[in-house]
Amino acid sequence: MIITTTRQHHLRQHLPGRTTARAASSVEHQAALAARLTARDKWLLALLHEHRVLTSTQIQDAAFPSSRSTRQRLRELYLWRAVSRFQPFRPLGSAPMHYVLGPAGAAVLAAEHGLEVKDLGYRHDRAMAIAHNQRLAHTVGVADFFTSLIALSRRRDPVRHGEGVTAWWSETRCARHFGDLVIPDAYGRWRSATGELEFFLEFDTGSESLTKVARKLLAYARLADSTRIATPVLFWLPTSRREAGARSALARIHADLDQTAGVPVATAAADLLDAATACPSPADEVWLPLNATSSTRTSPRYALGELTRTWPTLVPAADLDDGIAPTSGQAVAYRLPPPAPTPPDATPTRTPRPES
């Protein structure tokens, strides 16, 4: 009626609320998710289970074409409780939203492998505890390293055609494989025109003494002696100044190893990346082998894919095998296989209308 003015916001539809925790564990909700989750969604859930936490920026770099599509899809996954989120405090500005695996997402992963959620060793409170973990910045930094590589491989760049991440293992998975000798921050493989490079990553945030950083080579030397396999160790440092100090400490420890060729080492610093480029990443020409000598190259730094040329004695990487037999009488949670480091092709969330 003319005597009553209708406000526009009164005509808006009610915004959907988040599914309750009890409803998220119901059979009906799991049935609804079967019609909603795409292959990319399930890949993202597996990635969160493997690496514990990813930021919205990292998820966009790894799987989405734009920030808008990233926000929209993550909001839907959050409302369905497939993922959970938190935002750490920053004294200046605001941190990106951080995402972990939600209870409904864990149920989907377990169902895909014919398991119960408890068989995965998943608990929602433990998943969210990373928000207060003292190693949160380190965990996010390692993910930054690899998601920037994934973002580069997703670009349609003819110059870098064929380059890409072929393996990305978390610290937890590395600990199950090599924990009796060494626990790398991550294990990865990078494919380029010169071949495939496998490597262990040591991601330095500047919180440890350089002596402690360098002494990690002793553990890698024991691993090389045990496996008879020389695997490069890449040290990523925050600044070139710290890199210079780390190289001095690493050189002293490395020179005392019985088999120096068993532990190839290269270093790089984050401030060497050119922020003006379209997609700065550790694949750029920022790596300096520890045993680098003068050459005819214009720059002593190498791209990630070129490091194989500096270590010609490296054996080609073998096929990955994630099967681990527990020791006698030891009960362990079922471990999902490592997710592919790159997402599957995007699938439409709606069926296109038939042509008339």
What are the structural domain ranges in the chain? 18-133, 135-322+333-347
d(CA 37, CA 217): 44
pLDDT higher than threshold 50 for residue 330 = no
d(CA 164, CA 189): 9
Nearest residue to 25 via CA among 82, 84, 86, 94: 82
Picking from 129-138, 165-174, 333-342, which range would have the lowest pLDDT averaged per residue? 333-342
Percent of the chain with pLDDT over 90: 70
Q: How many CA atoms lie within 13 A of 270 on its CB side?
A: 13
**113-140 per-position pLDDT tens digit:** 999 999 999 999 999 999 999 999 999 9
pLDDT higher than threshold 70 for residue 350 = no
**205-243 per-position pLDDT tens digit:** 999 999 999 999 999 999 999 999 999 999 999 999 999
* Residues β-bridged to residue 164: 191
d(CA 164, CA 211): 33
CATH architecture assigned to 18-133: Orthogonal Bundle (1.10)
pLDDT of residue 156: 63
Nearest residue to 168 via CA among 347, 343, 345: 343
The contacts of residue 246 (CB under 8 Å, 6+ apart) are: 204, 210, 213, 214, 235, 237, 267
Q: How confident is the model at residue 331 (pLDDT cuts 50, 70, 90)?
A: very low
**8-21 per-position pLDDT tens digit:** 655 565 556 778 77
pLDDT of residue 24: 74
Percent of the chain with pLDDT over 70: 85
